[in-house]
Amino acid sequence: MPTNQATGAGFRYEALVRWEQLPAGWSFVEVAGVATDSQDRVYVFNRGAHPVIVFDRDGRFVKSWGEGTFNRAHGITIGDDAVYCTDDLDHTVRKFTPDGKLLLTLGTSGRPSDTGIDGIDYRTIKRAGPPFHRPTNVALATDGSLYITDGYGNARVHKFSPDGRLLFSWGEPGTGPGQFNLPHGIAVARDGRVYVADRENSRIQIFTSEGKYLTEWTDVARPMQVCLDRHERVFVAEVGWRAGRFPWQTPPPNPVGARVSVVSAEGKLLARWGGGDDPTAPGDFFAPHDLCLDSRGDLYVGEVVMSAGGNRGLVPAHCHTLQKFTLRGNQ
């Protein structure tokens, strides 16, 4: 099994590629989301024939579910062992038991809200809309409230009660404070602060629990998703400028590659790795799309390798779409 080291500011991770033990003949195609439950089982939300594949922390296959259920896997979040799956092309967020029994659906299947968007061009969104138009990810607050980024066809964050009532929304298209160009990822700190990965504005915006703008971090390159560890450090998956660009986008000179960054709650960069010239190398990335941590501090990173450019030959077919980073040493 190939390994590599990722280090910085006291962090030392060992990258494990092909950690997962898929049943014979199975494929992720690409991993859109990854989450862990209270037993440190790893739920891999993928775009293959078996959308939710569950492994134990050693990579042994446990079960799968969701076959025939999803239009396109996008994000997955677990809280109190309830599994929230975001299906961007279905315009819904659904809540399941760990075994895949449907408990709740937010949004109307196949019916996007009206935002005036022309196709997939977020620049053409004319107005912010209600839930949902291609939602992207879910974050859970300590009180069970849901915050949902909405996403490819909208420019909003929606807050729902634990039982699925829409409480309020905020955001509109643009580049100013509290505005969004593709809000793609989201996390909520214990004190209620909401971190939003505002992807095409290349920033992390931070809000109160009521959606009031606080500040932003701009030392990121097209952030896809954020998650927090037990010390409230913020882990950021950045797709960079070598992959996953829209047709109208031109990369800047010396474009930054895909990487993972770790930032303190105060916004100080603590560690960063990836961005190398070989995205197939263990510990490097091509298109990190989601990331999560287990109870021991191990990090899991899923990548949308095919849709971000693998289907156009930008990386070979053997490029990893899931990596586990095992934490070595004390944090």
Residue 331 confidence class, pLDDT cut points 50, 70, 90: low
- Verify cis geometry, omega within 30 degrees of 0, for the bond prior to 132: yes
Each residue's pLDDT tens digit, 232-283: 999 999 999 999 999 999 988 989 999 999 999 999 999 999 999 999 999 9
Sheet holding 31-36, edge to edge: 31-36, 42-46, 52-55, 61-65
Q: Residue 95 pairs with which residues in a beta bridge?
A: 84, 104
Do 222 and 203 contact (CB within 8 A), yes or no?
no
Q: What's the whole-model pTM score? A: 0.96
Q: What is the pLDDT of residue 54?
A: 98
Note the pLDDT tens digit of each residue in 56-85. 999 999 999 999 999 999 999 999 999 999
* Tens-place pLDDT, residues 120-177: 999 999 999 999 999 999 999 999 999 999 999 999 999 999 999 999 999 999 999 9
Nearest to 155 by CA among 178, 188, 189: 178
Q: How confident is the model at residue 7 (pLDDT cuts 50, 70, 90)?
A: low
CATH number belonging to the domain at 3-327, selected among 3.40.50.720, 2.120.10.30, 3.40.50.300, 3.30.750.24? 2.120.10.30
Q: Cα(136)–Cα(76) distance, rounded to whole angstroms?
A: 9
Nearest CA to 40 out of 330, 326, 262, 251 is that of: 326
The candidate with the shortest Cα–Cα distance to 36, out of 75, 94, 78, 64, is 78
Kindly indicate the confidence band of residue 1, based on its pLDDT and cuts at 50, 70 and 90: very low
Indicate the DSSP class of residue 43: E
54 bridge partner residues: 43, 63
Mean pLDDT, all residues of the chain: 94
What are the boundaries of each domain within the chain?
3-327
